[in-house]
A and B are shown apart, each in its own frame.
Chain A
Amino acid sequence: MQSPIVSFPHMGESWIIMKAFFETLGLKVLVPPYNNEKTMKEGVINSPECVCIPYKITLGSMIEALKMGANCLFMIGGQRTGLCRLPQYVVNQEKTLREMGFEFEIYKVGDPLMIQRLLTKDLKELSGNPKDYYKKLIKALRIVWIKTELVDLTNQLSRFYRVYETNKGKTNKVREEMLKMVDDSKEIKELKKARKTIDESFKDIDIDKKREVVRILIGGEFYSVLDSFINCDIERRLAELNVLVENPTSFSYLIKAKMGLGIRKKLVRLGLKYVPVTSGGEDLPTIGRIEYFRKKGIDGYIILFPMGCLPETAIIPILDHLGKKFDLPIIHFSIDENLSETYLQTRLEAFINTIKRRKWKKNII
């Protein structure tokens, strides 16, 4: 086999983390262009019609990577991943890609055993059996964790500053710069400095703390929540409507959840109060978040999921019921390639305005 060029489909800013991991191991990485209309088109025409949007867009992303010269793909898969249809996806996608005439290796990432084999065997072979492989691997894993935290921190801070900034658009610029800086930092030392730089650069943004804002929680299926392309950049749209977005789904949340740590366990327990079984995916945390974040004083809850996503679709009636019980306005959007921006914008505006008016009326009385 010729020298491996590693690639992977996009999901939000995850490419920064993945790229750093493979590069530290000494592999050549090719990052496909960020999800765009072309990716979507490629994915849609090569997918079954009713499959969910993450399948289509990841397929499109992989096609783009292969066309650009990648020959080694990494994709989520494995028996126990996600519990929804997700494990099946990589199998189908591989078949589609082979039928299209591409030649490549594909590695499935998911089950603990798979990851173990991947780390101890496959990646070692791919990077050419270096003597200090394990030293590099440990460094790579450390960098992954630090970068994950930094990406999440950048997103977290930009959510806050986007709402309060006095000159519009500044935060988005700073965010781009910071993400680029995180991507460019290759050593652990640099990354430690990067954290400080991120804090300082965001503090430099002029803010107007008196602005009246509404606090909205975003939840649901994680691909639709994390990928700003398929959700039409919902966070930016909300910030323009003076909404402080609370988005607990992050890359560190996913990594922690995979290891059985973090907040997800608690959310699942809260969710189990209302639904005794899980149908997979993020259904229980989506329910659990209502109770958990209600105490923290949120004004509304937006749930995003791909069209046809079984776990999330199954819980909609329960969510409507809980919305009434906890007096929390809830709105859900099912996302597919036909989601139009105007459709989303109109409903978001209506949702936010009704919340604002409710608050305003309460204050009058």
Chain B
Amino acid sequence: MEKKYYLGLDIGSTSTKAAVVDENIEVVDSSYIMTEGKPIEAIMKCLGLLKKNYEIVQAATTGSGRRLAKAMINADLEIDEITAHAVGVTHFVPDAKTIIEIGGQDSKNMILEDGVVIKFSLNNLCSAGTGVFLEHQANRLRVPIERFGDLALRSKAGCTIASKCTVFAETSMISKQSMGYKVEDIINGLCHSMVRNYINILVKNEKLLPPVVFCGGVSENVGVKYAFEEALEAKVIVPKHNKIIGSIGAAIIAKEEMDKTNQKTSFDFNIIKSDFKTKTFFCSICPNQCEISQIVRDETTIAFFGSRCGRYI
């Protein structure tokens, strides 16, 4: 019998990730590319980057583009980011009690008990304290984002930079620069400011118990990891596959679903060859004036988004 594979696709605001797992939940293949504001192209590319066309029995999507992706590739499930990440992380770190996930434009905090989420929060104020914030500041300092973490570790003094808002952080950073602080110290300060921000917005008065797992794109940054360790006074674990853990979680849930329903998917790799178009228009039937987007695959409409009343489903 041929081996069965499960596909998980995570369409984030900044990057698109795909993961393929086999029946023993071993990650056999994965791909990671930047979304660059073009999710449709990104999904195609991401699937194209996988090593071969696996025999996929079930596919699941997650991330902010999950609805679009589900309609596009005929996936069987769409899963919210919280569940996908929690499942992915608990597969690698079964006894995790706290998950910190910082991605491109959102950050999440999950508190777990016996491997299930009992409390979660997503950032709801602004994107200060997410990957975009660090990337922006790195651009300002002309430091490549990949070197950000190493530079932060080189700092011996550190400095305090206002958190809460990207604009205020920038003002505070400029004033520190004009005082003659070293770049390393400022970068270190930024990492700490980000962690403070995260704790202020998401954690509030919740207790973060170890083991603490840190994943998402920003977990590549060792500076932030150390800042977290200092703030929480606990060891922070960055698991294997930290960047694609959401898509692995989605694939695991797809496998669970398969075990329950035993229905084979209609997903097919030939989808990459189809031609996708989006149209947007304003519905003027009622005063709501919804902006509706229509997804067309090879001249057949596959989905509508944005209708409030349910006229376009």
Contacts and interface: CB of A to CB of B under 8 A. Distances in A.
Interface stretch (B116-124, B221-229, B236-244): B116-124
Contacts of B95: none
A358 B313 CA distance: 31
Contact of B287 (A33, A347, A349, A361): A33
B135 interface: no
B199 to A, nearest CB: 16
Interface stretch (B25-33, B76-84, B154-162): B76-84
Contact of B310 (A36, A37, A169, A349): A169
**Secondary structure call for the A interface:** helix
Contact of A353 (B80, B118, B288, B289): B80
Q: Which of A232, A236, A349 has the most CB of B within 10 A?
A: A349
Nearest to A172: B310
Contacts of A351: 120
A236 B289 CA distance: 20
Interface range on chain B (Cβ under 8 Å from partner): 20 to 34
A2 interface: no
A361 B116 contact: yes
Interface size class of A (residues with CB under 8 A): 20 to 34
A172 B313 CA distance: 14
Q: Name the prevailing secondary structure of the B interface residues.
A: loop
B1 interface: no
A342 B115 CA distance: 27
A347 B308 CA distance: 18
Contacts of B119: 329
B114 interface: yes
Interface in A22-45: 33, 36-39
Nearest to A349: B80
Contacts of B81: 346, 350
B155 to A, nearest CB: 36
B80 A350 contact: yes
Nearest to A168: B313
B116 A37 contact: no
Given A36-B286, A37-B287, A37-B288, A354 B83 contact: yes
Contacts of A169: 310, 313
Contact of B118 (A38, A341, A358): A358
A361 B82 contact: no
A201 to B, nearest CB: 19
Nearest to B289: A37
Nearest to B63: A346
Contacts of B80: 346, 349-350, 353
A45 to B, nearest CB: 16
A135 interface: no
Interface string B246-274: 00000000000000000000000000000
A236 B310 CA distance: 10
B124 A38 contact: no
Given A33-B287, A36-B287, A38-B287, A233 B83 contact: no
Interface of A: 33, 36-39, 169, 172, 232-233, 236, 329, 341-343, 346-347, 349-351, 353-354, 357-358, 361
Interface of B: 64, 79-83, 86, 114-120, 122, 124, 286-289, 308, 310, 313
A-B pairs, 10 with minimum CB distance: A350-B82, A349-B80, A353-B83, A36-B287, A350-B80, A354-B117, A38-B287, A36-B288, A358-B116, A361-B116
24 contacts: A36-B286, A36-B287, A37-B288, A38-B289, A236-B310, A341-B308, A342-B64, A346-B81, A346-B122, A347-B122, A350-B80, A350-B82, A350-B120, A351-B120, A354-B82, A354-B86, A354-B116, A354-B117, A354-B120, A357-B86, A357-B116, A358-B116, A358-B117, A361-B114
